[in-house]
Structure 1
């Protein structure tokens, strides 16, 4: 199962220029620069100068990533295989533990670290009169990373420059403690040599394990320069020699030192390249590359040569791709610039997180307890990586949450391919059963989510909802048609297999994997209801009457019984976390999933949107979560505090009279905070301290220098009472430095609820009904992507009027309006300056004024208030 500090399972990875161009096939109109959103100043770089040795660095591409520390060192990092999850990777293999530079006799360390859109930069100081700056990035979709050393000098000089590299060729799976084999036996010794002026490291052979396959891994390290001399040897870790070695993990492992350079799993070797570099007056640029392959030295060298072919142009292409990412969904929040910047950086985080692997041998390991022969092969998989460094692979639940942020950011291709990868791997692992896998490493290992595994039920239930979401935003009938059979099978599987007692509440694991829960989990139930409604909507669009009726009838039956079966009440104002069989006894443990009945939005057959919970209970539970027993400085606790029978007792405030069997877990995951931010917005809770509280929490841990570890990266867990802060933990015990799902909590509340964008592009419809939060007077977005077109929206809120202006590039049937402030009424409504008919619709968000604008490509609605 996943790491014990997280309920389950990005920095961020780079989107290749060519891939981004394909994903963003519609070029934003040139007038983008004239919009209010475009004029908002969002920094494209964030820098840090303090505690650099304690902060992780990260740069990621579609098929390559690198993690070290911000001072230029490479500490042993990560926990899946203890200490080996950092360094240089080309999934599914690791290449190097690290890469270090020396000028003269001095190893270079950074005094300033900068995270930029598509690159990282380190200021390495002045040596022998030469100022040195290092910039790392990943060129396109290559299995290579580039390092640019900028050497600046006012006068001509010669610099002695050396580079150390220490290899660690190792497959992503097995991990440190998996059975029946782990990396102590699976990882073979590396060899090193010098070929054509570059270091060549190789690991070849067949591990001594059942069903292990012969492999040929290779890494190449070198430069456009010709070395004056070279060295080979077992060390070559730059300033980290002699290395401090961490013990292998396990129940009997000795205590770790505070800092490690390598681990007992390591079987790498090293080498050095020495150069005499002529630096002219004004300076010069020197390029280095690290490349690799799991298909031998020839393939690795091919990637190496390609990366160093016009490397400057490759950097330009990366920067251009990132500018195009920024061009879509340019949101302006004049009253909340922190949130505005978080949206911009979250779009970059998502784009960075896109990953790709080839030739995945699908192997079902049942939570690391077996290592069988592969069941089949998936030729290619593209996905949105969950988190770095320990979860950069394919997850169902992560992608299904991240999908909301992806469509709001206009990154359609990434989420479509993610869902396709889930379908393809699930088909090999689980046949045509319908069960969606949980966790897949880039070599095709299915750690959890096969038919014999208990759950994860919610991921199967969320799959049709993710498909429907993407189809509504893209209108991509080809995608819908390709994913529809898997969506039908997913929901049929739940009721055929996962509802063993036939009470409509599916059994199996959900997002919270904690002891003492009943067989039936709240989030599984909530997302099953939503999945049924979304499947019915897809079925209606396909003309599949039988499936539409089946899904709607099931959903209606569950909704009728939901509140009586799940509302815990008794002074808690919350739902039960689970039901215990027999008898469906309500179990209340205060986990974050208690918010999902207010967060999950149902599209009803009449087209109306509503949460699973009745509005009064949804509002009550969300308001309760604002209290100190459920939340802290940076967001929502995983498990709230209060009376408990656990021997550890209550670690915090008490907000109700219930007694739980579980202790509090006051760890703040950015996903949990996202869930409640969405719930607040869905209920129209736009007053100060409501939705803004949670969007600010996630934005702060991403962009506030007093909180962040890695500038601009949305982390997995915020600083919190029971977790602490990543920067204070061992490098081998931290949560993800960047986790994609936290972007859900900033992009979706603003785009879908505050700007009020509800597209149904597949049916050629668009509704825009904004709800501006208290304390703000304007919101806008330019070039919000819809299908093959775009929409611009500006909305303002005055003392006596609400104004919404919409322009779009497609002939959609348009409805425009606004959510009325409490206790205000409509005096009159104008459409494009003329008096207009309108309707007022009561929704969970409040009273929505709606005006039909037909197929107009531009509409301005002004609601004058009484």
Structure 2
């Protein structure tokens, strides 16, 4: 994988994100490391070895001795590579006649990072330089650590200093960072007052390595490196990692590039004429790898987003892991789900799935209602993609508890609509929310399948009856006939009235006028103060979940989807978080909406939503979608993978796996604009199988050819345009004649 895989930017103050499974690096695209962030105020950037921070940043100063010019280098061009970053300093060094490139990466499975500098002289004759390579340590714990009694030490202490290596320890903990370089020279200085071009917060110390006089002839190059290694356990480990970086950094970079090539070629999408979608799909897989976080003694799993949410979430992962399965990384899905289960058992034990786990292993929120239901539904999905019966059995028992928690503790009135917060955490709106109700019904359906597979027929019968009741109730109680939409929440008028002033204040804060009148109209319509009814409070995006899950009655689904195709719900970059506000868009709101359209037979509308979402691709970080469309929040967000892969793989290509039965159903539903194009999805991993699927127009006529490479000889069932084929051949080439293609 060559450097040309990278995407370029000339927006120097935007953020970037480099990552291995241990290390995360975040600064600005000009090569600097300004303080920013709110979880740990002003500390979310820099170099992190979760659950601790190692450095606030590092900087290079170049002095031209003869011209008496001294410049802290600041890049004017940035290239995002899947495996790291490149910073180009073609014009950012003033009148010093040198060019500089910095290439940095974090090895995938090492607790360290490497920054490689190359200076090229283009001045006539001899250019005499002095260089200073400076780093600021900041050994401190991740957010929420204070609440569990882990307090940052008062200072960082230098415990080892040589000409080209410095080791630093937190004064209160066995947290270490070792910094070094092969920059020519012998001078080193350390101290709390040693700073570079940026003043950074924290109790760190400065480390600066200075060169002697460096003489470069025209077109001569100087190469040197910065090595950073850390440990949250011992100085010995930090030193061992450092030595490996020094001796093997070239091999580690090649290993990393090779890994990202494997990621690129797994579930590889190629749609003729859809270059932007193909590119975004590829980068979403790479982005996903950036967000894998491993912490010794705690676990490995997919984090929510960088740099603002670099820890593990129940809600985010029940979406994101659907995408992870679709791109064939079953191990990551298993690792993440096992981590969620372990922490939920420790923190709750009653079936409730936790919301948020820091990399220190602390649970900061025991769990919102929706994520327990969503987790249960996902357990069955994971089993269908992997066929891992041992994993199913392990999670099933907690799922049984989870259903009991949802339908007993969280549903005291027994209407099968659990109360509490859902995906949208708006203070005070902890009612019977639509997403919690829908995912509970979906969880009950999943429990039927799990119970039957595991031979628990009594449970299957019980859950089946509950699932049928829940689906009927959602379609009766949440449906708002006058609006042609499902409601945000179910509650009585007496429950809503105390919240009116607060909800109005939220609307007015966002500049929304007339909201009180809108609420009062609904209150007037609710004649019985004690009777539950549906309320369209904000027209939140989650009202699309009945269609996403196929729980909506078909007629209601069609009407609701048609209603939601208006500019009340959809803006330039996709689906608004709330139609009342017509503000804020996320890849998850757009993605779930796209899945809902595709799941109900509308691939053209689904693709139209994805095209809107693609408008935010690379707006901030080249090769990535921001958390909030188009350009704010986390610069990389895990659930974007759901938004891209689930509509395309599960619905456009129509892949439904049953790995435990070694069977895959393929029922393509291509957008109209793709009907005359070649569409392929290669190396699609399902259980132990790896399929290549292609759909192409016949050379003559309007028919299509479906090709499936099936080297493991699984049972492949293909349905296309009303025709059906079932085969275990290792190579299937099936032509659907033009006369059979339906309009």
Gaps of 5+ in 1: 1-37, 206-214, 244-261, 360-379, 450-454, 601-610, 642-663, 720-724, 727-734, 821-839, 841-848
- Take 2:3 and 2:691, find their aligned partners in 1: how far apart are those partners? 21
Q: Tell me whether 1:702 sits opposite 2:702 in the alignment.
A: no
- Take 1:124 and 1:518, find their aligned partners in 2: how far apart are those partners? 52
Q: Secondary structure at the match of 1:865?
A: helix
Per-residue CA deviations over 1:193-235 (Å, capped at 9, x if unaligned) read: 6523323222122xxxxxxxxx222212111346421122334
Q: Pick one of 736, 751, 754 that aligns with 2:652.
A: 754
Answer yes or no: is the 8 Å Cα contact 1:47–1:114 preserved in 2.
yes
Of 316-325 and 302-311, the range deviating more from structure 2:
302-311
Match of 2:606 in 1: 691
Q: Secondary structure at the match of 1:56?
A: coil
Q: Secondary structure at the match of 1:506?
A: coil
Answer yes or no: is the 8 Å Cα contact 2:478–2:533 preserved in 1.
no
Per-residue CA deviations over 1:4-45 (Å, capped at 9, x if unaligned) read: xxxxxxxxxxxxxxxxxxxxxxxxxxxxxxxxxx9xx99621
- Take 2:661 and 2:719, find their aligned partners in 1: how far apart are those partners? 20
Q: Pick one of 298, 323, 345 that aligns with 1:405.
A: 323
Name the structure where helix makes up a greater proportion of residues: 2
Question: What displacement does 1:764 show?
Answer: 1.5
Q: Pick one of 351, 358, 380 that aligns with 1:434.
A: 351
- Quick one: structure 1 residues 403 and 529, their matched pair in 2 at CA, closer, same or farther if it must change by over 3 Å? same
Question: What displacement does 1:103 show?
Answer: 2.0
- Take 1:336 and 1:308, find their aligned partners in 2: how far apart are those partners? 43
Match of 2:155 in 1: 189
- Quick one: structure 1 residues 516 and 485, their matched pair in 2 at CA, closer, same or farther if it must change by over 3 Å? closer
Match of 2:531 in 1: 583
Q: How does 1:653-668 map to 2 (within 5 A)?
A: 664=581, 666-668=583-585
Match of 1:150 in 2: 118
Match of 1:622 in 2: 561
Q: Secondary structure at the match of 1:701?
A: coil
Q: Secondary structure at the match of 2:417?
A: coil
Q: Secondary structure at the match of 1:586?
A: strand
Match of 1:853 in 2: 727
- Take 1:312 and 1:861, find their aligned partners in 2: how far apart are those partners? 49
Q: Secondary structure at the match of 2:296?
A: strand
Question: What displacement does 1:156 show?
Answer: 8.5
- Take 1:279 and 1:713, find their aligned partners in 2: how far apart are those partners? 38
- Quick one: structure 1 residues 748 and 43, their matched pair in 2 at CA, closer, same or farther if it must change by over 3 Å? farther
Q: Pick one of 401, 409, 415 that aligns with 1:503.
A: 415
Question: What displacement does 1:785 show?
Answer: 1.2
Q: Secondary structure at the match of 1:517?
A: coil
Match of 1:168 in 2: 138
- Take 2:247 and 2:670, find their aligned partners in 1: how far apart are those partners? 50
Q: How does 1:342-361 map to 2 (within 5 A)?
A: 342-359=280-297
- Take 2:555 and 2:344, find their aligned partners in 1: how far apart are those partners? 39
**RMSD of the TM alignment (CA)?**
2.4
- Take 1:82 and 1:272, find their aligned partners in 2: how far apart are those partners? 26
Answer yes or no: is the 8 Å Cα contact 1:714–1:740 preserved in 2.
no
Q: Tell me whether 1:267 sits opposite 2:267 in the alignment.
A: no
Q: How does 1:182-261 map to 2 (within 5 A)?
A: 186=152, 188-192=154-158, 194-196=160-162, 197-205=164-172, 215-225=173-183, 227-240=185-198, 243=199
Answer yes or no: is the 8 Å Cα contact 2:574–2:610 preserved in 1.
no
Match of 2:517 in 1: none
Q: Tell me whether 1:765 sits opposite 2:663 in the alignment.
A: yes
Answer yes or no: is the 8 Å Cα contact 2:422–2:430 preserved in 1.
no
- Take 1:616 and 1:42, find their aligned partners in 2: how far apart are those partners? 51
Match of 1:61 in 2: 20
Answer yes or no: is the 8 Å Cα contact 1:518–1:587 preserved in 2.
no
Match of 1:864 in 2: 738
Per-residue CA deviations over 1:315-372 (Å, capped at 9, x if unaligned) read: 111100000111111111113221111111111111121111123xxxxxxxxxxxxx
TM-score by length of 2: 0.88
- Quick one: structure 1 residues 543 and 457, their matched pair in 2 at CA, closer, same or farther if it must change by over 3 Å? same
Per-residue CA deviations over 1:83-125 (Å, capped at 9, x if unaligned) read: 1111110000111111001222321110110001111000123
Question: What displacement does 1:613 show?
Answer: 0.3
Answer yes or no: is the 8 Å Cα contact 2:421–2:429 preserved in 1.
no
Of 629-638 and 275-284, the range deviating more from structure 2:
275-284
Answer yes or no: is the 8 Å Cα contact 2:26–2:45 preserved in 1.
yes
Q: Secondary structure at the match of 1:775?
A: helix
Q: How does 1:445-484 map to 2 (within 5 A)?
A: 445-449=362-366, 455-484=367-396
- Take 1:498 and 1:42, find their aligned partners in 2: how far apart are those partners? 53
Answer yes or no: is the 8 Å Cα contact 2:480–2:486 preserved in 1.
yes
- Take 1:340 and 1:204, find their aligned partners in 2: how far apart are those partners? 49
Q: Secondary structure at the match of 2:108?
A: coil
Question: What displacement does 1:555 show?
Answer: 0.5
- Quick one: structure 1 residues 640 and 471, their matched pair in 2 at CA, closer, same or farther if it must change by over 3 Å? same
Per-residue CA deviations over 1:168-194 (Å, capped at 9, x if unaligned) read: 11100337xx7698x9x7552223365
Question: What displacement does 1:542 show?
Answer: 1.9
- Take 2:153 and 2:432, find their aligned partners in 1: how far apart are those partners? 40
Match of 1:640 in 2: 579
Match of 2:548 in 1: 599
Match of 2:74 in 1: 109
Answer yes or no: is the 8 Å Cα contact 1:517–1:579 preserved in 2.
no
Answer yes or no: is the 8 Å Cα contact 1:394–1:439 preserved in 2.
yes
Match of 2:509 in 1: none
Match of 2:9 in 1: 48
Match of 1:553 in 2: 465
Of 667-676 and 487-496, the range deviating more from structure 2:
487-496
Q: Tell me whether 1:775 sits opposite 2:673 in the alignment.
A: yes
- Take 1:97 and 1:42, find their aligned partners in 2: how far apart are those partners? 27
Match of 1:120 in 2: 85
- Quick one: structure 1 residues 235 and 694, their matched pair in 2 at CA, closer, same or farther if it must change by over 3 Å? farther
Q: Secondary structure at the match of 2:672?
A: coil
- Take 1:481 and 1:43, find their aligned partners in 2: how far apart are those partners? 46
TM-score by length of 1: 0.75
Q: Secondary structure at the match of 1:310?
A: helix
- Quick one: structure 1 residues 180 and 414, their matched pair in 2 at CA, closer, same or farther if it must change by over 3 Å? closer
Q: Tell me whether 1:141 sits opposite 2:102 in the alignment.
A: no
- Take 1:861 and 1:507, find their aligned partners in 2: how far apart are those partners? 51
Number of matched pairs: 684
Match of 1:93 in 2: 52
Match of 1:11 in 2: none
Q: Secondary structure at the match of 2:616?
A: helix
Of 414-423 and 509-518, the range deviating more from structure 2:
509-518
Question: What displacement does 1:296 show?
Answer: 3.7
Gaps of 5+ in 2: 64-69, 493-529
Answer yes or no: is the 8 Å Cα contact 1:220–1:292 preserved in 2.
yes
Match of 2:690 in 1: 790
Question: What displacement does 1:489 show?
Answer: 2.4
Q: How does 1:715-864 map to 2 (within 5 A)?
A: 715-719=626-630, 725-726=631-632, 735-776=633-674, 777-778=676-677, 779-797=679-697, 800-818=702-720, 820=721, 840=722, 849-854=723-728, 857-864=731-738
Match of 1:612 in 2: 551
- Quick one: structure 1 residues 795 and 180, their matched pair in 2 at CA, closer, same or farther if it must change by over 3 Å? closer
Q: Secondary structure at the match of 2:480?
A: coil
Match of 2:237 in 1: 299
Question: What displacement does 1:295 show?
Answer: 1.9
